Amino acid sequence: MNVVAIVIGLALVEYFVFGLLVGRARQQYGVAAPAMSGHPLFERYVRVHQNTME
C-alpha cells in the first residue's frame, strides 16, 4: 500500500510542476489567462499538461 501512495504522490507532484511550467509559459509568451492558444511553444506546454491530466 505504501508503494501505491508514493506513486500517487509523485504523479501529483509531476502534475503540479507541469502546471507551474504552463503558468511561466503564459507570462513568457504573453498569453492571457483564459486563452488556451497563442504562441506555438505555449500551446506545447498546455498540451503536455493536459495529456498528463488524462
**What is the amino acid identity at position 22?**
V
- pLDDT tens by residue, 7-16: 999 999 999 9
With beta carbons less than 8 A apart as the criterion, state whether 46 and 36 touch.
yes
Q: What percent of the chain has pLDDT over 90?
A: 91
Q: Cα–Cα–Cα angle for 13, 17, 20, nearest 5°?
A: 140
- pLDDT tens by residue, 23-36: 999 999 999 988 99
pTM summary value:
0.85
